[in-house]
């Protein structure tokens, strides 16, 4: 890759595509799924907390991988161009981890997919619509993505094998992550950082302390 092509979005894409190729082979799929899926029992009983991160790079089949990869390519580059690579990665992982924490708390089934983090990226524009109400770009994108998120969550209620709680958690993580990465230590905006990080930490601590059990 050239320097221009070596974006954080492209690195994330490369990782999940490589893992996707590995899972095309039965033995590779066995090891990836055994070690990386969100598994409530493995997290709660064995302390395998990496399973709150690894599911973001694992997908169930080609269509799942393709849909999330196309979304990540366009949405990821859009957000990264606005906030920069470091803050983009922070937002991506905050959304993905919170999505997996919600899934860990409310969904006993195995789960995986980048959608937890992608819902966090969509939530970025919704949050910015409220944080920057005089910005016409954020107004337009925020309204558009707000209705897209509402439609998706409602549709998820009628879809089998969809981890709706992972998506809801991704939105929550994205909203809080936006407060964190958008904090400017001037004009009193540092309160956004402390509000976001405090709520994020408290939610995470409660879920982990509760061992993912309702």
Long-range contacts of 101-104 (CB under 8 A, 24+ apart): 101/52, 101/169, 101/203, 101/204, 101/207, 101/208, 102/165, 102/166, 102/168, 102/169, 102/170, 102/172, 102/207, 103/38, 103/163, 103/165, 103/166, 103/169, 104/38, 104/40, 104/43, 104/52, 104/207, 104/212
Residue 115 known to be catalytic = yes
Sign (positive or negative) of CA dihedral 153, 157, 158, 160: positive
The Cβ of residue 157 has, within 10 Å, a number of other Cβ atoms equal to 8
Q: Which of 115, 184, 190, 204 is catalytic?
A: 115
The percent of the chain in helix, strand and coil, each rounded to the nearest 5, is: 75, 0, 25
Cβ(29)–Cβ(83) below 8 Å: no
Q: Contact, 179 vs 192, CB < 8 A?
A: yes
Residue with tokens 């860990």: 104
Q: Which residue has the tokens 């005089």?
A: 134
- Out of 59, 103, 111, 167, the active site residue is 167
Active site residues: 115, 167
């Amino acid at each position: 890759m050239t320097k221009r092509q070596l974006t954080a979005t492209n690195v994330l894409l490369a990782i999940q595509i490589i893992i996707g190729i590995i899972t095309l082979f039965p033995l590779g799929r066995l090891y990836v799924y055994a070690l990386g899926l969100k598994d409530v029992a493995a997290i709660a009983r064995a302390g395998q907390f990496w399973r709150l991160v690894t599911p973001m790079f694992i997908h169930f089949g080609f269509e799942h991988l393709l849909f999330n990869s196309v979304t990540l390519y366009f949405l990821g580059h859009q957000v990264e161009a606005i906030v920069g690579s470091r803050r983009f990665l922070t937002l991506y992982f905050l959304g993905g981890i919170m999505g997996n924490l919600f899934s860990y708390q409310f969904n006993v089934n195995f789960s995986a997919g980048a959608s937890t983090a992608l819902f966090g990226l969509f939530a970025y524009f919704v949050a910015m619509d409220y944080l920057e109400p005089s910005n016409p770009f954020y107004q337009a994108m925020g309204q558009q993505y707000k209705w897209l998120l509402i439609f998706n969550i409602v549709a998820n209620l009628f879809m089998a094998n969809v981890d709706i709680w992972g998506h809801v958690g991704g939105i929550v993580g994205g909203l809080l992550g936006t407060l964190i990465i958008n904090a400017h230590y001037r004009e009193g905006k540092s309160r956004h950082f402390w509000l976001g990080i405090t709520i994020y930490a408290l939610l995470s601590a409660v879920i982990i302390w509760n061992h993912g059990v309702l």
